[in-house]
Amino acid sequence: MSQHDRYISPFETRYASKEMQYIFSEDNKFRTWRRLWIALAKAEKEQGLPITDEQIAELEAHKDDINYEVAIAREKECRHDVMSHVYAYGVQCPGAKGIIHLGATSCYVGDNTDVLVMREAMELVEKKLLGVMGLLAEFARKYKGMPALAYTHLQPAQLTTVGKRATLWLNEFYMDLCELEHRMDSLALLGSKGTTGTQASFVELFDGDAAKIKAVEASIAKEMGFDKVVPVSGQTYSRKVDYNVLSCLSGIAQSAMKFGNDMRLLANFKEMEEPFEKQQIGSSAMPYKRNPMRCERICSLARYVMADVINPAFTAGTQWFERTLDDSANKRVAVAEAFLATDAILNILLNVCDGLVVYPKVIRSRIMAELPFMASENIMMSAVKKGGDRQELHEKIRVYAQQAARVVKEEGGKNDLIERICADPSFGLDYDEVEAILKPEDFTGRAEQQVEEFLAEVIDPLLAKHADALGIRAELSV
């Protein structure tokens, strides 16, 4: 069958990286199953079950060369994916086939693999998130002192700096990183809990020796790189784990959407924009367009991740007693695609943050169109110092400001508030004196210092600890 006559996920062709796609691949899953069967056999041998070194060596010799055709054929007969792979592994390892999956239930490989795969995926997300944070930190440092209009209610407000605004984006990603690391630290392997979580099959295997049963579980966890297993469970680990992990991914998506939407608005203001490649076409009909397509894609994929988190929420709430299977089909789609979409978002963020474009002259002109309104109190205080009456001047500025606003909004003219003030002798100020007051750098408060403090105290130590993640770049398919 060709690639053009069947559905292919856009995550594969357009969005997700090869690394994230491999993490959720069948190859990674089934190789992990075999690693878990080897870990189980080793642990059981250590605790005295009649398993030989030769059997374990045979299992290890075939841990990566999965005979898919045998497993597929067997699953058509038995309708059970785990047992079909137990059978296929046994075909390759005839001397060890009798000890594969000994005492385990399907969730031994299924759920433990899901935890291992989520950990791998979270490690990749962490690396890319740190890469984005490194680029934003660099940008914030570079533009820490450049004044810019701030916006409340999407209306011009007191000034900020371009760098200070970048720290708002950066801080939200920092919060996401803290949550991600918490989830990674909290992650525990299911272990070997048996069909209803009571380990009854292992009680049978080890003649009721609880110490040996616990040692088997501890050995498996260590072999798979974990220092803990869940303390109690039914057949599965609690599906709240999936919900908690996807909630963390939703947080990253929320931060990304906030960044993407801000950038789309700034592009409209012509203050900033995402990179635009030399041969890029902005619109099929309007050749002059420079549409913020990367940030639009960020927002689009973020919406998908944020909506996807409802899937594990329902799954967690509908798990009947010790096990039901209505989680399976939903879970294998919802969890994988949340990670694939988050990976795609981070790929685009890496690309955008590596080439953010700033237009200082536009930013300055937009400031100067609004600054006379914002500086009116400073102007009034200077006039009072020259002997003016505060109440009289306050009322005059109020009237002049409304008149100037009317010129801007109704006539499309420039803000002439300063000219009106300078023409009124009761202010006692000439144009040069007023111009001296209208210095944008004097209206940004502690913005520049806040950038320096935030980077020095919070972000730089974190990035120094994860220096290997900095410099990561992402190629976009389209």
pLDDT tens, 124-172?
999 999 999 999 999 999 999 999 999 999 999 999 999 999 999 999 9
Question: Whole-angstrom distance between the N-terminal and C-terminal Cα of the chain?
Answer: 24
Same topology, domains 20-99 and 376-437? Answer is no
Would residue 153 show up in a list of annotated catalytic residues for this protein? Answer: yes
For residue range 80-112, what is the model confidence (pLDDT) as tens digits?
999 999 999 999 999 999 999 999 999 999 999
**What does the mean pLDDT of the chain come to?**
93
Confidence class for position 279, pLDDT limits 50, 70, 90: very low
Within the chain, how many helices (H) and strands (E) appear?
21, 4
Helix, strand, coil % over all residues of the chain, rounded to 5: 65, 5, 30
Considering the domain delimited by 376-437, tell me its CATH architecture: Orthogonal Bundle (1.10)
Question: Is pTM, for the whole model, over 0.75?
Answer: yes
pLDDT given at position 396: 86
Q: Which of 2, 4, 153, 284 is catalytic?
A: 153
Query: Can you give the length of the chain in residues?
Result: 478
Q: Would you tell me how many other CB atoms lie within 10 Å of the CB of residue 203? A: 16
For the chain, which residues make up each domain, given as ranges?
A: 20-99, 376-437
Q: Which of 186, 283, 365, 426 is catalytic?
A: 283
pLDDT given at position 22: 97
For residue range 388-443, what is the model confidence (pLDDT) as tens digits?
888 888 898 889 888 988 988 899 888 888 888 888 888 888 888 888 888 999 99
pLDDT given at position 475: 66
Which residues are CB-neighbours of 60 under 8 A, at least 6 positions away?
38
Label residues 358-388 b or e (16+ Cβ within 10 Å = b): beeeebbebbeebbbebbbebbbebbeeeeb
pLDDT given at position 417: 84
For residue range 22-54, what is the model confidence (pLDDT) as tens digits?
999 999 999 999 999 999 999 999 999 999 999
The pLDDT > 90 percentage for the chain reads 78
At residue 340, does pLDDT exceed 50?
yes
Region 464-468: what's the mean pLDDT? 90
User: Does domain 20-99 bear CATH number 1.10.760.10?
Assistant: no
pLDDT given at position 278: 47
